[in-house]
């Protein structure tokens, strides 16, 4: 399966397909949580920008624009992970779906499957690292 992302991503679709299902679903959940916080921050920044048109802070404007890019990238990453799940034949359901942004259409389906704790041998030969800031690195 071939996919060309719009944003730079830390893994390809083919690499994501090699991951075990629990690893993929945990990364989707982590990204959805990150998106929730980013959207809350965007709302606050947007309110500040709107309420203070004469007092524009270039740092706030820059943060707002950078967050938009990060949101698009993370939504795309979730889409890649969902495509990997679909390729694995995982049944999709809407209760895992993150709220869509205005700029990127969100997929309406996600994983409907319980996940067990991930062990080191569940990576199927794919070397991956995970930290709180960047997610999965392949």
pLDDT tens digits in sequence order for the chain, 138 residues long: 788 999 999 999 999 999 999 999 999 999 999 999 999 999 999 999 999 988 889 999 999 999 999 999 999 999 999 999 999 999 866 555 544 444 333 333 333 333 333 333 333 333 333 344 566 656
- Separation between Cα atoms, residue 89 and residue 5, nearest integer Å: 22
Give the global pTM.
0.68
Nearest Cα neighbor of 17 from 133, 107, 100, 136 is 136
- Separation between Cα atoms, residue 7 and residue 110, nearest integer Å: 21
Nearest Cα neighbor of 100 from 74, 133, 66, 138 is 74
């Amino acid at each position: 399966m071939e996919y060309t992302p719009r944003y730079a991503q830390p893994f390809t679709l083919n690499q994501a397909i090699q991951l075990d299902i629990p690893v993929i679903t945990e990364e989707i959940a982590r990204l959805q949580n990150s998106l929730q916080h980013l959207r809350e921050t965007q709302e606050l920044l947007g309110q500040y920008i709107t309420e203070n048109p004469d007092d524009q802070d270039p740092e706030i404007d820059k943060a707002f624009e950078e967050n938009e890019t990060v949101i698009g990238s993370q939504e795309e990453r979730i889409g890649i992970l969902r495509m990997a799940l679909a390729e694995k034949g995982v049944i999709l359901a809407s209760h895992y779906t993150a709220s869509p942004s205005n700029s990127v259409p969100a997929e309406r389906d996600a994983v409907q499957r319980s996940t067990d704790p991930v062990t080191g041998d569940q990576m199927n030969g794919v070397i991956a690292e995970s930290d709180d800031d960047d997610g999965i690195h392949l």
